[in-house]
Structure 1
């Protein structure tokens, strides 16, 4: 399953899941965000049984980004049952990301 796009409007309903949800806070003008996109798409495909990957454009959805104190992008937050359980900042190769998500996957 490919990643899903979320907005300020549907963010809360998306993160209310028994399955962990990794939210990528990103923007189109952000070089590291663009580099991170294919890594997250691959992870989304490979781990679809264990993890939902969602993308939130911070320029189009500033309310949610502000509510979670997003100061740098890309920032990836993992939510479980609506609560943030992990935060990762910056570009990282897929194997590094997998290692950091080991307790979640």
Structure 2
């Protein structure tokens, strides 16, 4: 979950793009602009951005808030692959 005016969102965007490339076929990265889609963030109780939600088998399994380092995100992702 992100917004165009969010500086931390801009910082993490290249990291997410890199992870999407590196884990292609194992991981899907989707982006939801909270300004353009306010209902979905409300449904997932998003109060702060950037927020990442990891899903496994269609269910949310992990929530990550903030622009965190790639290494941290990879640790979290590997648990669910």
- The answer, yes or no, to whether TM exceeds 0.5 is yes
More helix by share: 2
Whole-angstrom CA distance in 1 between matches of 2:42 and 2:10: 21
More strand by share: 1
Whole-angstrom CA distance in 2 between matches of 1:85 and 1:67: 15
Whole-angstrom CA distance in 1 between matches of 2:42 and 2:4: 18
Moved beyond 6 Å, runs of 4+ = none
Please give the root-mean-square deviation of Cα atoms over the aligned residues, in Å: 0.9
Normalized against structure 1, the TM-score is what? Answer: 0.73
Could you list the runs of 5+ residues in structure 1 that have no partner in the other structure? 1-24
Paired residues in the alignment total: 81
Q: Which of 83, 96, 100 does residue 59 from structure 2 map onto?
A: 83
Could you list the runs of 5+ residues in structure 2 that have no partner in the other structure? none
CA contact (8 A) 2:20 2:27 kept: yes
Normalized against structure 2, the TM-score is what? Answer: 0.94
